[in-house]
Structures are given as C-alpha cells and as structure tokens.
Amino acid sequence: MAESGTYLYAIARDAGPAPPDDVPGVAGAPVRTITHDDLVAYVSPVPLDLFGEEPLRRSLEDLDWVGETARAHHRVVEAVARRAPTAPVRLVTIYSAEEQVRDLLHRRHDDLTAVLARVAGRREWGVKVYADPAGSSPAAEEPADTGRPGTAYLRRRQAGLRSRDDAWRAAVAYAEHAHAVLASVAVAAHRHRPQDPQLSGRDDWMVLNGAYLVGEDRDEEFAAAVDALRGQGVEVELTGPWAPYSFTALDLGPAGEEDGR
Amino acid sequence: MTPEGGRAMPTDRSRGAELAARGRLPPERVALVDLLDRLLAGGVVVTGDLVLSIADIDLVRISLRALITSIRAPDEPEPVRWPGTPRSVPPPGTPGDGCPP
C-alpha cells in the first residue's frame, strides 16, 4: 500500500470558499482545505508511488500525463479563484503531510497575505504576438533578372534572408512596443519565454508571450488596448482571464531563483 | 505585411471584449501549452519548505525538453529560430520568400 503525500494547489484568503467538492483533484482524489488563521490551502492526497520523485521524473516526460495533471490542477485553481483572491501554486508541489502545509501557512503568513493582497480584484490576461517570418516587408521585392538563373537564385535568396532579418527586427521591436502599451494598463506584467513551435504548433515567430495583471475595472480598457495592437502584420492572441498564475511567485527558496524574466 | 495569417482562426477585434464579458474560459478549452507556461514558470514556489523537492525547476525544465523531443518527428532538425536566431535558413528547394508578382 502506497504512502501518500499532500499535493498543494493554491492558497487563498479564508473568505469561506469550501473545497470544490464537484471538482476532483489530481489522481481523482477529493480536494480538502487546511485553514490556518485567515489563510486556507487547497490540497488532496496523492500516492507517493506515483508522485514520488522518481516516478514523477518519468511521468513528466509523458505529455498525456502532464496534460491530465495540469488540467486537474487548473480545474481546482479555477474553482477556488472564482470565489476568492487566490495564489496558485506551481505544478506538482507535494508535501509529506498536511502538517507541513499548515506550517507553511504559519511561517509564510505575511508573505502569502501580501501576495493575496496584490492579486485581489485583479485578473491575469495572456497576450501572444505572432509575426510572419516570410516578412512581407516591402524590401523583399524581386531582384532584377540578370538572365542567369543561378545568380538570380542566389540574389533572391540573399534578399530573402535580409528581409527575414528585417522582419525579425521589426517584429521584435513591435513586441517591445506592445508589451509596454499593455503593461501601462496593467498593475504588473511578466514575459514568459516564447513557446516552442513544437508545442505551440505554429511556424511563425512568437515574439511576445506576455502575462498582465489587470484590475477588474480595467478589463475593457485592456481589451481595447489589445485590439488596437492588431493589424500591423502581426497576429495578436488574447487568452484569459486566468487566475494570477504569473504573479504569485514567492521568493521562498534558499537560492531565490525568481529571475523576473 | 500579410493581412491574413494562413490558418489563423477568425479571431477578431471583438474577441477581447467578448472574453472579458463572458468570464473565464472553461478549463478544458484552455490550450495546454498556455497552461504549462503558467504552471511551470509561475505560481507560488515553495521549494524552501518542501519535503519533496518536486517543484524543482531544473527537473521540470529537463523533463520538458525531453517531452518536446519526444513529440518531435525523429528526423526533424532542431528548430533554432527563436529567440535571437531569426535566420533559420530555408531548406534547399525553397528559394527565399514566396514570389508574388
């Protein structure tokens, strides 16, 4: 029989949200709460023969497993975030016992309270900007035909590379601009690294993968800012609203690994 | 630049307003890759308190790299187009950009 660990999903203010009993946690286990002072942690038991370090190492290389676990995690976070200011916890954060979680709530009470205050009344939006590598910059016009197919080919190819380079620079500059505009409407902004084309399933360049923490009263304004960035030869994708995943990082580790990028 | 992006969905200008009005996206419709951005690079990190150091970022990064490799076709070259390497040279036989008249 497997030992079990305590999987932590999120921490919220104890505004009373009961555990989402219609939303099972990872591995199908029911979610329960651990309350300490005015903080509440959402947890569920997980068997350590599946969620121990070694099995996890293997499981994390299985896309289906990762997807299933991520969605289960996300469902719980969503259910909680709909009702109270919530700090989602990173995927697969597991304690050996509930007591450790209670201890976390106790020792980090002030840090957690500060984080929850920062995200209260605010939601996260994701904005991705894609640019077409084919460039489309007007500089990419056909070089004159010299009559020699080899030369023409080489020139065309050079022009292609140049225009690709220009297109990249223009796209990157546009992404900076877009990020600045969106960040000015947001309370906080964070750039995730661009998604690997293998995972995004797209061939074009993702030049911005931003997350923006926006006051609920400024949603419309933010949406308008996003809309204003469309056109210009780029594709702009908006996702959300999200629970404030990108804005609840607590620098609790000994190494302080948060690098802000 | 090109006004239409190939297989782009007919997403449109009102999408933002519409999303904002509608509230949250149902969890099952969230793209996994967007979710992973957040679940692996965001969220409360409590490494200092963990008994099992499973949230270790290096572990997750290494595993994701393996994951990416595993879903890539075996004979496909490493895509090195981003960030900072804009010029992935087109394979022979695809001369530069398309040549509209």
Tell whether B58 is covered by a domain.
Answer: yes
E strand residue ranges, chain A: 4-13, 32-36, 39-47, 86-88, 94-95, 122-131, 188-191, 205-215, 234-242
Tell whether B34 is covered by a domain.
Answer: no
Chain A, window 16-55: residues with a beta carbon less than 8 angstroms from a chain B beta carbon = 51-53
Work out the angle between the directed axes of helices B15-22 and A219-228 (0-180°, nearest 10).
160
Please write the tens of the pLDDT for every residue from B14-45: 555 555 555 556 666 788 888 888 887 766 76
| Cα B90 from chain centroid (whole Å) | 22
Residue A163 has pLDDT above 90, yes or no: no
**Cα separation of B67 and B56, whole Å?**
17
Tell whether A137 is covered by a domain.
Answer: yes
- If one counts the domains in chain A, the total is 2
Tell whether B35 is covered by a domain.
Answer: no
| pLDDT over 70, % of chain B | 13
Q: Is the CB of A205 inside 8 Å of chain B's CB atoms?
A: yes
Tell whether B28 is covered by a domain.
Answer: no
Average pLDDT (A226-233) is 90
Q: Name the one residue in this structure whose structure tokens are 């967007």.
A: B34
Q: Pick from A91, A129, A220 the residue to mutate for testing the B interface (most B CBs within 10 Å).
A: A91
Work out the angle between the directed axes of helices A149-185 and A219-228 (0-180°, nearest 10).
160
Residues A113 and A164 in one domain: no
Question: pTM for the whole thing?
Answer: 0.75
pLDDT top residue among A222 and B81: A222
Instruction: Tally Cβ neighbours within 10 Å of residue A84.
Output: 16
Residue finishing a domain among A120, A137, A160? A120
- If one counts the domains in chain B, the total is 1
Residue A12 has pLDDT above 60, yes or no: yes
Q: For residue A46, how many C-alpha atoms fall within 13 Å in the half-sphere facing its CB?
A: 27
Tell whether B19 is covered by a domain.
Answer: no
Q: Is the CB of A220 inside 8 Å of chain B's CB atoms?
A: yes
Tell whether A249 is covered by a domain.
Answer: no
Count of A-B CB contacts under 8 Å? 257
**Cα separation of A253 and B11, whole Å?**
41
Residue-number span of the structural domain to which A25 is assigned? 4-120
Please write the tens of the pLDDT for every residue from A48-98: 888 887 788 778 777 788 889 999 999 999 999 988 999 999 888 888 888
